[in-house]
Structure 1
Amino acid sequence: MWRKSSASGPDDNCVEVLLGSCVLVRDSKDSNGLRLSFDLSAWNSFLSPVKRKL
């Protein structure tokens, strides 16, 4: 299931994430558009510093 941040506003300017054997990211306004794909290691490397700043 695609997930969107609970902090996203009503204007839908955000991305959605699908977690599985890899991580897919898409624009919430264009659900049929292009998607970025990351392996789990790359995704976790991205999230680690982001989580530290929250």
Structure 2
Amino acid sequence: MQTADSEAPLLWLAGILPYLGLALAILILLVFIIAKVWVFPSPEVRLSRNRRRAKRKRGRG
């Protein structure tokens, strides 16, 4: 297929776009998983972390 030089970058972009979309979707999914586990943990994990912090503060004084 003969293409003009001005169309070549667009064809390259059209070929790689699905892979970029897939990579972006995987990255967003990983960010959500990490946020769920690390930033917004379940209440039990949060309570145990708070207890550990309180023990450390008491030990210093």
* Normalised TM-score (structure 1): 0.27
Larger RCO, structures 1/2 (Cα 8 Å, 6+ apart): 1
Higher Cα Rg: structure 1 or 2? 2
**Structure (1 or 2) with the greater strand fraction:** 1
